[in-house]
Amino acid sequence: MKFRFKGRQNALAQAFLLSLTSSGAFAAPSSAPLEYASASELSAMMVSNELTSVALVQHFITRIADLDKQGPTLNAIIEMNSQALDIAAAMDEERAQGKIRGPLHGIPVLLKDNFNTADNMQTSAGSLAMVGQPAAQDAFTVKQLRDAGAILLGKANMSEWSGMRDLSLPLGWSGRGGQGKNPHVLSESTCGSSSGSAAAVAAGLAPLALGTETNGSISCPASANGVVGVKPTLGLFSRSGIVPITRLQDTPGTMTRTVRDAALLFNVMQGVDASDSATADAPTGVDYTALLSSEALQGKRIGYPVAYTGSHATVLNPSLEMLAAMATLEEQGATLVPLTVRLPDIDDYINGLMGAMKHELPEYLASRQGLPIDSLQALIDFNQANPVDDSFGQQTLEAINASALSRQESSTLLATISQNFKDAIDEQVREHNLDALFAEADGFSQFSAATAGYPAITLPSGMSDDATPTSVTFYGQQWSEPQLFAMAYSYEQASMELRHPGFKE
């Protein structure tokens, strides 16, 4: 839910988002060619019989044991899938028989711990109160991954209840998984709430991971951990079988190290789900790799904010990394358009989210059997009876339980705010004839895209003076993912700013 701000970023931006809410170094194990290979590269190795899925899964199991549970102890993984090697063997057998399901056949993927999986793994949203009988059915998107031949390697740690246990808790912490660490600098924040998914991909614990975003929970950890995070248009992916804040804002998304790998996941995860009405109008059958080209920025008009007006008015001072990214865009043939962006009012946004969660979380709990809790009040009582840390509270959960907003009042409030942000983005695109908008991690732009329910692709732009990654974000209008993927890919290929972590103290 919250963005991580560096000292050079504007204090007003920090206040804006907060309203929502011994020296040394560890050395990584000796580098092997598999850790940081893309899914595309790994798939090609399998096609040429240079690699089996069993060998790949075993490689990641060993690496997770070395880095996540020992050494720097990243705490990015909350649980491993005990069936992963068996599934990998089955995928190898299918391949030997000539049955190849697609480019994700035999490729490991991690899931944020709020995706239902009908196997031996828990789905707990990071909460000890949710440890019990596993889910009876896969989430819709999880079934899509299985059908595509992907191997569920395990569940990734996350900010407990997607940050909604208590907005003052450290980002990346959960009662079940502990405090996640940033693999670049272990003392720095992973951001949240899809913290483990981003940290794991950055650290080479898996090539692919899924996260979810309500507002900032993909873009912020992608930025903090230096990976590619893609939040789709609301409704492109199903939310069925995912622990909710609210379907009015929630969406699954992807964490990868390359833009192409994210596009491959999008090819698999699109589709209409009868249980999620928001998917009814979404485009289907799209090949999100089709437009990927190193020349995709040629002739594009891209707007970038230089100032914001409204209740949080501010003038932006671009970082050196942002200036370098802008220069790259221009070198690739794009025309940059400076924008003064209107920020709509966000009064009661968090209250709207809390009111919506009060009504939607109990519905999710009713779909699960064999858990210690069956209601919000039971969750609060469980946490009181089983404190993980006396200094860690649950004020936000208590506020959610006490919310007096009806479902309709919450829906109306959030829909109005969302429409205002849609209008603000559409206005810029129309007025300046833009193909996309572009910003660094200033908080405002990423928040705007999320609140509007519009797509955003966050990807690395370099490294700051404190050895943590910096990022930029391409965002645009509803269903503009194919064009955003193309522009992000062109920037990625020209800039080559992905940096592997050093696991520094």
The answer as to whether 204 is a domain residue is: yes
- Over the stretch 251-297, which tens digit does the pLDDT of each residue have? 999 999 999 999 999 999 999 999 999 999 999 999 999 999 999 99
pLDDT at res. 33: 75
pLDDT band at residue 30 under the 50/70/90 scheme: very low
**Segment 191-200 mean pLDDT:** 97
Asked whether residue 22 carries a pLDDT value surpassing 70, the answer given is no
| Of 4 and 189, the one with more pLDDT | 189
- Computed on alpha carbons and rounded to an integer, the radius of gyration of the chain in Å comes to 21
Q: Which residue has the tokens 């992973």?
A: 190
Comparison of pLDDT for 229 and 443, the residue scoring more: 229
Query: Would you say residue 484 lies in a domain?
Result: yes
Give the pLDDT confidence score for residue 390 in this predicted structure: 82
Omega before 406 cis (within 30°)? no
Cα distance between residue 269 and residue 263, in whole Å: 10
pLDDT score for 19: 37
Q: pLDDT tier at 23 (50, 70, 90 boundaries)?
A: very low
What does the pLDDT average to over 490-501? 97
- CATH number, domain with residue 184: 3.90.1300.10
pLDDT band at residue 248, thresholds of 50, 70 and 90?
very high
Looking at the predicted structure, is the pLDDT value of residue 358 above 50?
yes
Alpha-carbon gap, residue 277 to 83, rounded angstroms:
33
- At residue 252, φ and ψ (nearest 5 deg) are -70, 160
Residue 348 in tokens: 């009661």
Q: Is the dihedral of CA 367, 373, 374, 380 positive or negative?
A: negative
272: in domain = yes
3-class secondary structure, 437: strand
Whether 9 shows a pLDDT value over 50: the answer reads no
Query: Between helices 84-96 and 53-67, what is the axis angle to 10°?
Result: 160
- Say if residue 10's pLDDT is above 50: no
Query: How confident is the model at residue 146, as a pLDDT?
Result: 98
**pLDDT tens-place string over residues 203-218:** 999 999 999 999 999 9
Per-residue model confidence (pLDDT) at position 477: 98
The per-residue pLDDT for range 70-87, each reduced to its tens digit, is 999 999 999 999 999 999
pLDDT recorded at residue 443:
84
Task: Tell me if 434 is assigned to some domain.
Answer: no
DSSP 125-169: TT-GGG-SSPPSS--HHHHHHHHTT-EEEEEE--SGGGGTS-TTS
Q: How far apart are alpha carbons 296 and 432 in whole angstroms?
A: 19
- Read off the pLDDT of residues 122-161 as tens digits, 9 standing for 90 and up: 999 999 999 999 999 999 999 999 999 999 999 999 999 9
- Total of domains in the chain: 1
**Residue 29 pLDDT > 90:** no
Local confidence band at 21 (pLDDT 50, 70, 90 cut-offs)? very low
Q: Residue 26 above 50 pLDDT?
A: no
265: domain range? Answer: 14-19+28-294+439-495
pLDDT category of residue 25 using cuts at 50, 70 and 90: very low
Give Cβ neighbours of residue 6 (< 8 Å, ≥ 6 apart).
Answer: 464, 466, 468
Question: What integer best gives the mean pLDDT of the chain?
Answer: 93
| 311: confidence class by pLDDT, cuts 50, 70, 90 | confident
Is residue 189 in a domain?
yes
In a domain, 428, yes or no: no
Residue 261, amino acid:
D
Name the pLDDT band for 391 (thresholds 50, 70, 90): confident
Selection from 84, 201, 214, 106 nearest residue 159 by Cα: 214
The predicted model gives 114-127 an average pLDDT of 98
User: Which pTM does this prediction carry?
Assistant: 0.94
Residue 99 falls inside a structural domain: yes
What residues are labeled active site?
112, 193, 217
Q: What is the mean pLDDT of residues 381-393?
A: 93
Give pLDDT tens digits for 323-350: 999 999 999 999 999 999 999 999 999 9
Lowest mean pLDDT among 13-22, 244-253, 286-295, 462-471: 13-22
Evaluate whether residue 504 is within a structural domain.
Answer: no
